[in-house]
């Protein structure tokens, strides 16, 4: 009986610590319902009147080796990796975030990114434009992002 009580005490403590630490994860908001809901708790950065509104468009192609390549085209936006993490929002410069199937993969600082292999079947690729302070850029309440579905047959 003492063994069961000890095990249950350990299990309760373990689960308590587990839930506490996982709730402190800054990326816990990354859910599969779309990248606009997944910017890691950073506030959205609304493009104010008087600024040109940035745009992003993505293309994904399979190369001869069977891996995948992302090409990102932006307008009215400059990549500024040296400024990532600044407190003040920026409207026409920053970086991008890449999501595959709702999971944040990495930051992007340029036009091309080698995706490598994708899981077999449908893959949702999303790129958001982000301010130097990591907030997702938005205009009139809509995130500035581009998404497409890629069917990886093998």
What does the pLDDT read at residue 8? 63
pLDDT digits (tens, 9 = 90+) for 24-72: 444 433 333 344 445 455 689 999 999 999 999 999 999 999 999 999 9
More confident call, 31 vs 123: 123
Share of the chain above pLDDT 70, in %: 75
Identify which of 107, 110, 105 has the alpha carbon closest to the alpha carbon of residue 134: 107
What does the pLDDT read at residue 4? 76
Cβ density class 118-128: b for 16+ within 10 Å, e for less: beeeebbbbbb
Tell me if 143 sits within 8 A of 136, measured CB to CB: yes
What does the pLDDT read at residue 2? 76
């Amino acid at each position: 009986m003492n063994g069961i009580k000890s095990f249950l005490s350990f299990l309760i403590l373990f689960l308590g610590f587990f839930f506490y630490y996982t709730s402190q994860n800054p990326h816990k908001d990354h859910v599969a319902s779309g990248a606009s809901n997944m910017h890691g708790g950073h506030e959205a950065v609304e493009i104010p009147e008087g600024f040109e509104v940035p745009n992003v468009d993505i293309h994904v192609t399979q190369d001869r080796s069977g891996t995948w390549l992302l090409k990102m085209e932006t307008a009215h936006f400059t990549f500024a990796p040296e400024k990532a993490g600044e407190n003040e929002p920026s409207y026409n410069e920053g970086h991008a975030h890449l999501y595959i199937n709702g999971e944040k993969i990495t930051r992007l600082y340029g036009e091309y990114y080698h995706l490598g292999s994708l899981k077999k079947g449908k893959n949702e690729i999303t790129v958001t434009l982000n301010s130097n302070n990591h907030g997702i850029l938005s205009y009139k309440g809509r995130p500035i992002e581009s998404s497409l579905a890629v069917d990886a047959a093998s």
